[in-house]
A and B are shown apart, each in its own frame.
Chain A
Amino acid sequence: MIEVRDLWRHYGRTTALKGINFRVGQGTIAGFLGPNGAGKSTTMKILTTFLPPSRGDATVAGHDVAKEPRAVCAKVGYLPESMPIYPELRVNEYLRHRAVLKGLRGREVKSRVESVMDECSIADVERKLLGALSKGYRQRVGLADALLADPEVLILDEPTSGLDPRQVSEVRRLIDGFRGKRTVLLSSHILGEVEQVCDRVIIVADGEIRVDSTRAKWTEQLQGASRLRVVLDNAPSDVHEVLSRLKGADQVECDGSTFWLRSDRDLRGAIYDLCVKKRWSLLELAPEIATLESLFLEATRDREPVLEDAVEEQSATGGAA
């Protein structure tokens, strides 16, 4: 479980997080979305105890990140953005090294390393040097590393960035398998991915939370936002009025010869019949389904992101050199 209460983070004079609140329940997969520099990575770094919060508190798996960082580390698996590596180590050497650092012992090390390599399908490259791996493999090694200590909570910063479509779907399937077992917070730029995998979506922009919604809620919201597009050839002037009077049509918008109807039922048949009856020549009749993307754009539209990614990263890794 992850709980964040009134979390603030300043980098010098810049404010990266402005008092965010959210809660991800046990076994839930939550998607963390937002434009670059919105505060996603900062939040994740705080949740993994790498950065201290400036104000407010966060609890991960029942432990406070500022007061009991060791206990938090023991229960969290973390995949940082763009998976940093030691190029001179082999995959199995690296994972064994990480397993020892994470406090595994003796036979446990060997068995856990083997099992995560299987789980992330990297067993075929176990003898390869990390520096020689492709981005996709590297990312999966990172994911394997995150899973090593069998963590209760997984924090994944853009787990599928740089992967090819097949690898993306593999990783997605892997994450999907965690549902109910591990609490996952994953950030992503790929909205479709979040839409498919996550039970909950949190959209941040400019250090604030704009949307915090469960799958049921956003599906309903999106359904409400879906509409039907009707394009007519030389639409006569009374079309708008006629369409508005159509049974079930809640709202009609028009732009030249294109009309949009919102309705809670399927009006396609009725509109076709109407066109035939009125002898309108129908050019197009198509449903426009709202996606998470429209929700995202809506939530992040009003203000341009202030923080640059670079600023965030630099300060996060230790600041002025």
Chain B
Amino acid sequence: MRRVAAIYRRELLSYFTSPVAYIILFVFLLANGVTFYFFINAFQGRIDDILRSLYGGIVFWFLILLIPPLLTMRAFSEEKRSGTYELLVTTGISDTALVAGKFLASWTYFMFLWGTLWPFLWMLESVANPEWGVLIAFHFGIALIGLVFCAVGLFASTLTQNQLASASVAMVLNLLVFFMSYFRSFFQPGDLALRYFDYVSPAYHFVNDFANGVIDIRYVVLYGSFSLAFLFVAVKALEWRRWW
């Protein structure tokens, strides 16, 4: 545990001392600020529409899908490229502790980014009456999906020494997860497969449940097990690389 904490601390510190993280923060704030301004003007205080666009629009998904890979691309790639990985491994730390520390750090930074939205929402209070339950549900959804995408990103980062390659692999995997909802159109209503895709597609969850303020334990299980699966594969990838 102390080792996980040590990795976590260093990793977070490296986010706050690296230019990449600040660029991400800048882009994030800019994108959300602009959309917020635009939707406030466009929907003239119709709070439901504002929220639906803010938490389901193209900018939202763009940020959800593309930011985690940028946060995790360095995680193992950079350590392997610079050789610090060798130093890390020879302290006797377990691969699981290593992955856990880095995963928690990337997720924390991801949540920090989304936390910057709260001042915007607080301002909404003066124009309309946002339903805080819905907002909390949205952020709960973001936290859950962040777990999955950070785990995917970490896994991608164990595969290569090249940060760009790592980010690309993670983005492709994320898009696959996201576009699962589009497979719906292949099926008739009532098909078992349709129900399956509804169960696992994040876009569907955001539009139908989180937007209505529903926090379902099934999502915790789904996203939780998804992320655990990817973390497990990441640990195995590290082990396999060592025995190669």
Contacts and interface: CB of A to CB of B under 8 A. Distances in A.
B127 interface: no
Interface of A: 45, 48-52, 69-70, 72-74, 76, 78, 80, 82, 84-86, 88-89, 97-98, 100-103, 105, 145, 317-319, 321
Interface of B: 2-3, 5-7, 9-10, 13-14, 17-18, 80-93, 160-162, 165, 241-244
B243 A85 contact: no
Contacts of B92: 69-70, 72-74, 102-103
A50 B89 CA distance: 7
B83 A101 contact: no
Given A88-B14, A317-B83, A318-B80, A49 B90 contact: yes
Nearest to B7: A101
8 smallest A-B Cβ distances: which pairs? A73-B92, A84-B83, A88-B17, A100-B6, A101-B91, A84-B84, A321-B161, A48-B90
Nearest to B2: A100
Contacts of B85: 317-318
A50 B13 contact: no
A256 to B, nearest CB: 53
A78 B85 CA distance: 13
A50 B90 contact: yes
A84 B2 contact: no
17 contacts: A50-B89, A76-B90, A80-B87, A84-B84, A84-B87, A86-B84, A89-B10, A97-B6, A98-B87, A98-B91, A100-B5, A103-B92, A105-B2, A317-B81, A318-B80, A318-B161, A321-B165
Contact of A73 (B82, B84, B90, B161): B90
Contacts of A76: 90
A101 B17 contact: no
Given A84-B84, A318-B80, A321-B165, 12 more contacts: A49-B89, A51-B242, A74-B92, A76-B90, A80-B87, A82-B83, A88-B13, A100-B2, A102-B91, A317-B81, A318-B85, A318-B244
Contacts of B242: 50-52
Contacts of B89: 49-50
B88 to A, nearest CB: 7
Given A84-B84, A101-B6, A318 B90 contact: no
Contacts of A50: 86, 89-90, 242
A51 B84 CA distance: 15
Contact of A86 (B14, B93, B241): B14
B160 A319 contact: no
B3 A101 contact: yes
B13 to A, nearest CB: 7
Contacts of A78: 87, 90
